Structure 1
Amino acid sequence: MPIVRQFGTWAKIVFAAVVLVIVLSPTNIALADTKTAGVVSQPQQNWAEVKTILDRRCVVCHSCYDAPCQLKLTSPQGLLRGASKEAVYHTERLKDAQPTRLGIDAQTVPEWVRLGFFPILHTEEQSKEDSTLLEKYLNLGLEYPLSANNPVPDELGLAIDRPLVCPTSSEFGDFRNSHPLAGMPYAAAPLSENDFHVLTNWVRRGAPISSSLAEMPAEIQSQIDAWEAFLNGSDLRNRLMSRYLYEHLFLARLHFDNDDSRRFFKLVRSITPPGKAIDVVATRRPFDNPGIEQVHYRLQVIDESIVHKEHLVYTLGPDRMSRFKELFLDTDWNLFELPPYGTAEGGNPFSTFSAIPARSRYQFLLDDALFFVRSFIRGPVCHGETAVDVIEDRFWVSFLDPDADLSVTDPDFLENGAQYLELPVSDMNDGALGDLQAFSHKNQVRYIEYRDSQYRNSSIFTTGFDYSSIWDGDGANPDARITVFRHFDNASAMTGYHGAVPETAWIIDFPIFERIYYDLVAGYDVFGRVEHQLSTRLYMDELRMESEDLFLSFMPEDVRQEMHNGWYKGTLAELHTYWHRRHVDNDFPSGIEFTTPNPKKEFLVELLRNGKGLWPVSDAINRCSPGDCLQHLQDPIDQTVRGLANQRGPWVQYLPDLSILIVETEDGSSRIFSLAHDKAHTNVAFLFDEEARREPQSDVLTVIPGLFASYPNFFFNVRQEKLGDFIKETKAVQSQDEWMELVAEYGVRRTSPDFWESSDFLNTYFLDQSPIEAGILDLNRYTDPKKEDDPT
């Protein structure tokens, strides 16, 4: 969802004024206090059963920063913290909000109460005979269940930016009278009788909670000790390396080779050294001053349910440690003084870490390129809007080879150019809207001019970039080719090139890669004010264009302008390009001799052919000639589903952004397909009025076997013998009435008796498909088709 769609009228006026000005401008939570919440923190026989129900019925909506009322139910700490009336995602605030990160910003129940949270379980002051807030919500859902297989009533909003009412237990009576249908599970099929009784009986017994953590195996503890020793070396170079690693891995779910597939750790800064209980240093950003002379980097085990939308897996093991030594410690560089901390320094990682060779830093990012691209999506912008309305619905990403990147090969490039690479966070001040120049692109314009001059004075200006200028994964790393999907207000990324040849493609070099990371991840403050959120989005706009421009430099000179014009259609888009001082460089030569009339397709397909078998050249379902596809698709289900892929028609616009197709096979098993709706736009250059820039006649579906995205919008359940009919009837949809008929026959509504069964099946399937990478799917964006919601 575009960021401005969440704003009220006042905020839209402010945003419009800001944009006009720009245009005219040159866990270690202390469970010792659980007694305060009336909860006994002792192992109980049925806690595992309770946790399973919470995961399957509650965590699917109550997780991450976008949990309604900040009620995050992924861990015992979240249950004890309770709920809040303050929303994390509040795009109208003029001042930074107090962070409320679970396990970081408060450690005990009384501390959370002081930050405005209120309990959902029993407290000491509450009579055991009184119902808890959790019980009241569950009872309300039982008393007023929604009508099965019917649309959710209009009074129950489903938009993620809907106004929330977050009553305390004492306020619930009035809430119940005014919102009788708002019981839990919210706007969905009711709990089963068994699930209801398990939860309510658990609450009445005092809601006993126990940690789900198993005893740490000796071999894993040995690896933890080895890594903490490695990361806390006293040598200055070692300390700077560890700071660099922390700033890039602070969101990672660290997983040891050959460990339990569901045990993960996170890298934290602690006041205490290895061997002592972890005491996390709480700062807004990972590069903020910790306030102590020396921090200690520690590995903290994660005690919470794994939710896919924030699950960023990064593996550790002996090979990884050897690689870090090779990149950062075995290379020739010196350090005589550690760089300072702070927002200004954190806003420019190129100066902060200038002592570390650029090749080492870039190769570190490339080694796990998919992890870092996913961090742009699953990181602090968990809600999605800040970043994703600046990208196309599907595009392909590749990376400039380190040997072709002047920022890597020429030491003077970053030394002289770092001054132009400041990120927006370095310019924030304490004003209500801050310095409007913080939104400007002055540094970016200067950097582009500087970059152009450096490349024009280099040997590459004589020959131009060719295929060898694109990183090939060193013949072994599949992360060298990535597909990014946008699903309206969230996104996904996959290894390889999926779907038809897209409208746009990116090539990312080291300065682009590092700046996207610090703009969207390390430097993004989810509790920040409107200025910060806007500047983050606008700067990402710059980085998208820079990536597109680098791609164009590989194209024949005579097609670049026409290709660019196709990406930025319309008068406003032309003004946007003019204001950003973007011009298609037709002087920089291409080093490729193209042989077909479609150089974009030729170039991108050749990148796959040069991949030494790392990626398939064709996508048998979405991108190949009919004869070739049939050779590769032996399964009749795949052949049939291909009928939906990469085809235009009025029917496409009725499909949600991401649908999951469950095909029940004749042998009693199931096949799963993700149907990604690729929405076409005249351009993605603006914050406002996306619908006016839509080109629905050019929409297509990309069909991906299995699950890959975090937020399904709708489920279809089809028997194999009916699959052909489903494909035919889907492509025959011409109106909202016909769409509703399709939904009635094959769809799984939120109120369907099969809704939870389908959700459970998919989460189990996902875990079987990807035991380490899988996580609970989020249902906050699950749609509810209605007759009046005609997309035309």
Structure 2
Amino acid sequence: MLPRALLYACLSFIAPLMAAEPISYSRDIQPIFTQNCVACHACYDAPCQLNLGSGEGAQRGATKLPVYDGTRTEAQATTRLFLDAHGAEAWRRKDFHSVLDAQGSQAALMARMLELAHEAPFEPNAKLPDDLDIGINRNNQCALPTEFDAFARKNPQVGMPFAVTGLSEADYQTLQRWLAAGAPVDDVTLKASAAEAAQIAEWEAFLNAPGAREDLVARWLYEHLFLAHLYFEKGEAGHFFQVVRSRTPSGKPVDPIATRRPNDDPGTEFYYRLTPIQGVIVHKTHITYPLSAAKLARVKQQFLGSDWQLDAVPGYGAQRRANPFETFAAIPPQARYQFMLDNAEYFVRTFIRGPVCRGQIATDVIRDNFWAVFQDPQHDLYLTDPQYRAEATPLLAMPGQLDEIGDLLGLWRNYRDKRNEYEDLRLKAYADAPAPDWSHIWSGNDNALLSIFRQHDSASVRKGLLGEVPQTMWWLDYPLLERTYYQLVVNFDVYGNVSHQAQTRLYFDLIRNGAEQNFLRLMPADSRQAILDDWYQNSGKLKMWLDYQGIDTRSPTALLLDESAPKQHFAEGLLTHFQTLNARPDPINRCTGAHCHRPDLPEELQHAEQALSRLASKPAGGLKVIAQLPEATLLRVELADGKREVYSLLRNRAHSNVAFMLGEELRYQPNLDTLTVYPEVLSSYPNFLFNVSASEVPAFVTAMEQVKDAKAFEKLVDRWGIRRTHPQFWQYFHDLTAHIRETQPVEAGVLDMNRYQNL
């Protein structure tokens, strides 16, 4: 052991050397951004479009132009990182300004924003000032360097990190030293491993194979996988890839073609390429899809295993975008539908996740919780009846390809009438088909049963039947599933104008209604109208009269259901018939006996879940605390041995109907709200977090049951809540991601805190 004097001498010699060591962006800076900044500064909804998930994003900087603008009359230019421009100078030409460069004698904009927060920290675990706007719709001023002094005088509490516990002193000093040194960024690019590269070569060879059939199949697959975070069998942990259209063939550096939509004309010869996804993985854009040798063999058999013919590959254009059923008519529809069913969770996730990151266009047309099942391909008339398919295909075109403001109503009426003509054709065709029974519901794998939970402008999708029996259920056939995907994913342009966005929203309302009406075919004929009336109460009846096709109240179902409560009886039958496919049994929300907890848990967790079940599936009229809770609350339960479990408490808001674009608050039925309690992180956007020891969970639940107003709820938050200003906020917040990584490692990504509330 060194004498103390000699130890101090060594440290005094080493310290200056450590201080003089150059700061590495990849080693020293990106981890600080990932820990403290990416939770807000990622995706299109990053304030001022400042994306700090990569060096490229940090160097791109910020802009005053928002991505989300529901009132613009003209589509705006796209500003997608890694695609629409490359390098800082290219982004300057697109009106992005640097946050890293010093301006004369003034420090860099980022340095000044960090200093503003560092000089005025918030009181630990206290509520933020009421006049500090932290909502996602706040007006981000995005001050230029020349505007900063006036901005700071007017807004002294909006330094960075914004409205949250500040940086540690060490991290603050590291960032300031890096910025003072000119903010150098070393280029660290994720590369495929040897095993991944071999599989990439096989997939690229398949996607770029010569031949008209091969060309059309590759195009359809690209349009269905362009949003995916692809990962390979025996690939490296944390390695994900995306498929792009590139000007360069396999073996050369990828040169992506930046079209507005994936089904726009690329304008030049191109090749499908798989390229690594760069930057920090964030949960809200992380929609995973597995690739393997077995998957490749299945895809080849599905699409090219039969002897279908194609004379010429269709071109591009508005009509091709509007009706993919015509564009890809040559590909057997059985192959298309089965491909989507095999990974149905992925496709339903794409409807409401991904780079859009603020999905109210999709989510305000759905209820806060519902289940989705799929029509078996052998009983889908679009697949099995060529004559019906030929009559239906022209009627399946979707709006949004033309965005003239003046003709919005005319465009909408045209597509609404086509859709209703299709529904009439469909109703008559299925009236002559065999009555549906359990075999008509697809049961091919554990993607067959899905649960969807909406939280205002976001939503989550999970395999299995979670939560209480919901008010609505969807039964999706191929035309419904494919139209939803094209309307909300392929054809949707977040940079589009108000006409495009309105047409998208209005048509998705018709798709939802179609999925609900299809489900009604499973119910006894005499009960269908009453169920439909429950879904479309009050103003919903007007919408049914104006826009929806009538339902079949005569054709029978082959399911033997209790006519006094057919939907409940159907749900019970679904849980019984598909028990082996139900990926997530849920005894907390649907307790059928004395033990309302998962089996094989430590005793202290059994007691905790038994207590939590008292909060589940009870209306807010009797459980007053629901009125105080945000939509996605996380509960972290600490065990005596240091381990922990994480539960989601999702507030399911009730509405008289979800049939209109505006006035949602007028249709809100707060006394009917309920909570779903489930042991998993069920949202990319936590609204609040409680931390409770397992032994205190019964007391926590009792306190929740006793809350009658905001004052009582604030006391509960004071005792167990983790506010934005909590000294260990980031430790607790990122532990949610750690929980996902431990339980579902492929799905892990940094969560978003833009919606974390000031409780």
- Aligned partner of 1:49 in structure 2 is 28
Q: Against the structure 1 CA distance between its residues 44 and 333, is the aligned structure 2 distance closer, same or farther, given a 3 Å change threshold?
A: farther
| 1:582 is the counterpart of 2:549 | yes
- Aligned partner of 2:410 in structure 1 is 437
- Aligned partner of 1:552 in structure 2 is 520
Among 731, 734, 749, the residue aligned to 1:760:
734
Equivalent pair of 2:356/2:494 in contact (CA under 8 Å): yes
User: CA shift at 1:638, angstroms?
Assistant: 1.8
Deviations 1:419-445, CA, capped at 9 Å, x for gaps: 11111123x14x344442222211111
- Aligned partner of 1:21 in structure 2 is none
User: CA shift at 1:589, angstroms?
Assistant: 1.4
**Pairwise mapping of residues 670-709 of structure 1 onto structure 2 (< 5 A)?**
670-709=644-683
Equivalent pair of 1:43/1:211 in contact (CA under 8 Å): no
Equivalent residue pairs, number = 730
SS in 2 for 1:613: helix
Deviations 1:19-52, CA, capped at 9 Å, x for gaps: xxxxxxxxxxxxxxxxxxxxxxx99656323211
| 1:153 is the counterpart of 2:121 | no
Cα distance in 2 between the residues matched to 1:204 and 1:361: 55
SS in 1 for 2:573: helix
| 1:346 is the counterpart of 2:321 | yes
Higher alpha-carbon deviation: 323-332 or 241-250 = 323-332
- Aligned partner of 1:18 in structure 2 is none
Equivalent pair of 1:608/1:617 in contact (CA under 8 Å): no
Higher alpha-carbon deviation: 249-258 or 604-613 = 604-613
| 1:533 is the counterpart of 2:509 | no
Cα distance in 2 between the residues matched to 1:733 and 1:513: 42
- Aligned partner of 2:5 in structure 1 is none
Among 258, 282, 285, the residue aligned to 1:282:
258
Equivalent pair of 1:43/1:210 in contact (CA under 8 Å): no
Cα distance in 2 between the residues matched to 1:616 and 1:512: 24
Q: Against the structure 1 CA distance between its residues 681 and 295, is the aligned structure 2 distance closer, same or farther, given a 3 Å change threshold?
A: same
User: CA shift at 1:766, angstroms?
Assistant: 2.1
- Aligned partner of 1:660 in structure 2 is 634
Q: Against the structure 1 CA distance between its residues 386 and 631, is the aligned structure 2 distance closer, same or farther, given a 3 Å change threshold?
A: closer
- Aligned partner of 2:295 in structure 1 is 320
Higher alpha-carbon deviation: 578-587 or 64-73 = 578-587
Equivalent pair of 1:609/1:617 in contact (CA under 8 Å): no
**Pairwise mapping of residues 113-132 of structure 1 onto structure 2 (< 5 A)?**
113-122=92-101, 126-127=103-104, 130-132=106-108
Cα distance in 1 between the residues matched to 2:303 and 2:176: 54
User: CA shift at 1:749, angstroms?
Assistant: 1.1
Q: Against the structure 1 CA distance between its residues 184 and 44, is the aligned structure 2 distance closer, same or farther, given a 3 Å change threshold?
A: closer
| 1:626 is the counterpart of 2:626 | no
Among 68, 76, 81, the residue aligned to 1:97:
76
Equivalent pair of 2:525/2:553 in contact (CA under 8 Å): yes
Q: Against the structure 1 CA distance between its residues 412 and 381, is the aligned structure 2 distance closer, same or farther, given a 3 Å change threshold?
A: farther
Q: Against the structure 1 CA distance between its residues 298 and 214, is the aligned structure 2 distance closer, same or farther, given a 3 Å change threshold?
A: closer
User: CA shift at 1:380, angstroms?
Assistant: 4.7
- Aligned partner of 1:111 in structure 2 is 90
Unaligned stretches of 5+ residues in structure 1: 1-41, 786-792
- Aligned partner of 1:518 in structure 2 is 486
SS in 2 for 1:478: coil
Cα distance in 1 between the residues matched to 2:126 and 2:674: 28
- Aligned partner of 1:241 in structure 2 is 217
Cα distance in 1 between the residues matched to 2:563 and 2:22: 68
Among 597, 603, 613, the residue aligned to 1:642:
613
Among 112, 121, 128, the residue aligned to 1:136:
112
Cα distance in 1 between the residues matched to 2:476 and 2:597: 35
Among 696, 703, 706, the residue aligned to 1:722:
696
Among 199, 213, 224, the residue aligned to 1:223:
199
- Aligned partner of 2:4 in structure 1 is none
User: CA shift at 1:780, angstroms?
Assistant: 0.3
SS in 2 for 1:299: strand
RMSD, aligned α-carbons: 1.8
Deviations 1:336-365, CA, capped at 9 Å, x for gaps: 100011222111110000000010000011
- Aligned partner of 1:172 in structure 2 is 148
Identity over aligned residues, as a percent?
40
Equivalent pair of 1:605/1:617 in contact (CA under 8 Å): no
Question: 1:609 corresponds to which letter in structure 2?
Answer: T
Deviations 1:456-488, CA, capped at 9 Å, x for gaps: 3x4x2xx41111100012xxx100000000011
**Pairwise mapping of residues 500-511 of structure 1 onto structure 2 (< 5 A)?**
500-511=468-479
Question: 1:101 corresponds to which letter in structure 2?
Answer: R
SS in 2 for 1:586: coil
Cα distance in 1 between the residues matched to 2:614 and 2:371: 23
- Aligned partner of 1:778 in structure 2 is 752
Equivalent pair of 1:399/1:508 in contact (CA under 8 Å): yes
Higher alpha-carbon deviation: 146-155 or 513-522 = 146-155
SS in 1 for 2:231: strand
Deviations 1:514-559, CA, capped at 9 Å, x for gaps: 0000110000001000011111111110011000001111001111
Q: Against the structure 1 CA distance between its residues 616 and 161, is the aligned structure 2 distance closer, same or farther, given a 3 Å change threshold?
A: closer
Question: 1:393 corresponds to which letter in structure 2?
Answer: D
SS in 2 for 1:627: coil
Among 598, 603, 608, the residue aligned to 2:565:
598
Among 232, 237, 244, the residue aligned to 1:256:
232
Higher alpha-carbon deviation: 439-448 or 486-495 = 439-448
| 1:710 is the counterpart of 2:677 | no
Cα distance in 2 between the residues matched to 1:596 and 1:91: 45
With normalisation by structure 1, the TM-score equals: 0.90
**Pairwise mapping of residues 407-422 of structure 1 onto structure 2 (< 5 A)?**
407-422=382-397
- Aligned partner of 1:482 in structure 2 is 450
| 1:492 is the counterpart of 2:467 | no
Among 193, 203, 208, the residue aligned to 2:184:
208
| 1:568 is the counterpart of 2:536 | yes
Unaligned stretches of 5+ residues in structure 2: 1-20
**Pairwise mapping of residues 281-320 of structure 1 onto structure 2 (< 5 A)?**
281-292=257-268, 294-320=269-295
Cα distance in 1 between the residues matched to 2:117 and 2:505: 39
Among 68, 79, 85, the residue aligned to 2:58:
79
Higher alpha-carbon deviation: 320-329 or 48-57 = 48-57
Question: 1:56 corresponds to which letter in structure 2?
Answer: Q
SS in 2 for 1:480: coil
Equivalent pair of 1:663/1:717 in contact (CA under 8 Å): yes
